[in-house]
Amino acid sequence: MRTAIVRALRIVAVATALLPAAGPLHAAPDLERATQLVEKRCSVCHGMQGESSGEFFPRLGGQHAEYIAKQLRDFKEGRRKGEMTRFARNLSEEVIEGLGLYFSRQKVAPHPPAEPELGAVGRYLYHNGNRFSGVPACKDCHGASGEGAPRLPRLAGQRSLYLERQLKDFNQRERTNDNDIMHAVASKLTEFELKALAEYISGMQ
């Protein structure tokens, strides 16, 4: 069963990475307007460099531009539900592309694990999975360093509490986009494994 999931994950990861971005093919990023929007609104929760102003807000600095743009489109068009929907609703395609470009150029420092022993468990799970419960290795899709791919999120350095919440939302199908594969993974994680993974990933560089 685990082998089948791993094989499916690898196929989906490759296919997703090769997909063209949704929306107009030739929308030029409006970096100037995007930067103004970051200063006025986005920075309140995500920080000017995408470092995040709190544990429950995702760190966007260094995230793939294509991934950020996809998530904004999903919020705008209702495929993903959440607080961001009302902010994304009126964004133009040029600004969406500009926001993706802006945050992809920012750099944020990882957080050293607060509990190194818990992080060590997460490290094992991230790189090896759990063959006893069928949990695949996270690195199979997100890369050995958590770098992700243009259409798959960079995980390295992400806020641990945000990661925990997203994994729980995937498990409960409250995360309404990108859910099929991640539900199959998150539904097999114990609370301990979930916290261990979040602890390790938040300290990855």
The residues, any chain, with a CB within 8 Å of residue 128's CB and separated by 6 or more, are 137
Whether the model clears a pTM of 0.85, i.e. scores above it, the answer is yes
Per-residue pLDDT of the chain (205 residues; tens, 9 = 90+): 555 555 555 555 545 544 444 445 558 999 999 999 999 999 999 999 999 999 999 999 999 999 999 999 999 999 999 999 999 999 999 999 999 999 999 998 888 888 999 999 999 999 999 999 999 999 999 999 999 999 999 999 999 999 999 999 999 999 999 998 999 999 999 999 999 999 999 999 8
User: For residue range 9-34, what is the model confidence (pLDDT) as tens digits?
Assistant: 555 554 554 444 444 555 899 999 99
The residues, any chain, with a CB within 8 Å of residue 27's CB and separated by 6 or more, are 93, 94, 96, 97
Residues 6, 136 contacting (CB under 8 angstroms): yes
User: What residues form DSSP beta bridges with 135?
Assistant: 130
**What does the angle CA 12 – CA 75 – CA 169 come to, to the nearest 5 degrees?**
65
User: For residue range 105-128, what is the model confidence (pLDDT) as tens digits?
Assistant: 999 888 888 899 999 999 999 999
